[in-house]
Amino acid sequence: MTSAVAVQGRPAGTIRQAVAGHPVTAMLLMMFTVAFALLIPAALSGLPIEPFLLAVVLLAQLLPAVLVTGAVGGRPAVRELFGRVFRWRVRPRWYLLALLALPVASLAASAVVLGPGVLRTLAADPGYITAYLGVLTIVPLVNLWEETAWMGVVQARLAARHGLLLGAVMTAPLFGLLHLPLHIG
């Protein structure tokens, strides 16, 4: 009789068990709740959205990724998640090539399509180069942690369950939906 009372008075499971049992659902609920709570009021009030974007990346994407990963696999899983972020997959020169090749290829394509005036404009206004270098600062602050959340948790789990292609197809609209508040106001 005592065990029946103890079982009745105790919750069926902890939040951690619920998150571990449904990691993608838990991750999406946390991400959308926090992101929309931060972005929608800012967008509707006309406030600059940029400071809120950094908060969304850290509080609505990275934090849930760490919490969900921790609920599923504990500290070793969280270490592995961050270990994948900082693991060099190719030699550093390939990363440098990627950072330089994309803008050079874009400039070349623009010059072919729009004419050489594009290159003259770039040479006349070095602000474009400064803007590009500024965008590079966003990579470690925003994109790296956003991808850690989406690819490291959501897409990885969906791909493991449904295959690589379907996992990516299922992740894409959800990723786009999280950015919906950016188009409000």
Mean pLDDT of 63-79: 96
Could you report the per-residue pLDDT of 79-136, keeping only the tens digit for each?
999 998 888 888 988 888 887 888 888 888 988 998 888 888 888 888 887 887 787 7
pLDDT for the residue numbered 10: 47
pLDDT for the residue numbered 1: 42
Mean pLDDT of 150-174: 96
Roughly what angle, to the nearest 10 degrees, separates helices 23-45 and 63-85? Answer: 110
Q: What are the CA-CA distances from residue 158 to residues 42, 128, 167 (Å)?
A: 31, 39, 5
C-beta of residue 168 within 8 angstroms of C-beta of residue 159: yes
Could you report the per-residue pLDDT of 3-38, keeping only the tens digit for each?
444 445 445 579 999 999 999 999 999 999 999 999
The residues near 13 (Cβ < 8 Å, ≥ 6 apart) are 21
The candidate with the shortest Cα–Cα distance to 14, out of 97, 55, 71, 84, is 71
CB hemisphere CA count around 23 (13 angstroms):
22
Through-space distance between the first and last CA atoms of the chain, rounded to whole angstroms: 60
The whole-model pTM stands at: 0.76
Per the document, the length of the chain is 185
pLDDT for the residue numbered 15: 93
Which spans in 56-153 are helix H?
63-85, 92-114, 117-124, 127-138, 144-149
Could you report the per-residue pLDDT of 56-67, keeping only the tens digit for each?
999 999 999 999
pLDDT for the residue numbered 89: 84
Q: What are the CA-CA distances from residue 123 to residues 82, 99, 120 (Å)?
A: 40, 20, 5
Distance CA 150, CA 61 (A): 8
Integer-rounded Cα Rg, in Å, for the chain is 22
pLDDT at residue 48 greater than cutoff 50: yes
